Amino acid sequence: MKVYAPKSYWNASPEEIAATCNGCGAEGGIKVPDKVWGLDIKHCFQIHDWMFKHGITYADFVFANAVFIMNLTITIIAQSNKWLAPFRLTIATKYFLAVQTLGVDAYWKDKRRNDMMVITYVGEFRFKSTRAV
């Protein structure tokens, strides 16, 4: 199963990823389980955290969230049977809605707001990293 991430994420060391990505849930806020109905989705959150840290425009914020729900969907569909997929996708949708509606302040933390509608990420689909971070 391939997921999308910026090239800078794919090229980062495990230490760089660990320093930037806090996994599921907001840093210092609500904690979210790394698994949804037994399926590990932490890599989707790590990619999202990376994109939040390195994004510089409002379009980057929107794109990071779109990539987040896409990666969740790819992961869930690839690794679920027809009975579990609907339940997992329902939870994934809630996670997406939370970051889209409540994540804007976290995105702009330590950044100067830039409302440009230009996506600055350069990325690609690759097989999910099996690195433990």
pLDDT in tens, 32-90: 778 788 898 888 989 999 999 999 999 999 999 999 999 999 999 998 899 999 999 99
CA-CA distance, 26 to 24, in Å (whole number)?
A: 7
pLDDT in tens, 17-45: 888 887 666 666 667 778 788 898 888 98
Residue closest to 89 by CA, chosen among 98, 99, 102, 80: 80
Assign 93 a pLDDT band (cuts: 50, 70, 90): very high
This prediction has a pTM of 0.87
pLDDT in tens, 5-18: 999 999 988 888 88
Q: Could you say which DSSP state residue 40 is in? A: E
Contact 115, 58 (CB under 8 A): yes
Amino acid at 46: Q
CA-CA distance, 19 to 15, in Å (whole number)?
A: 6
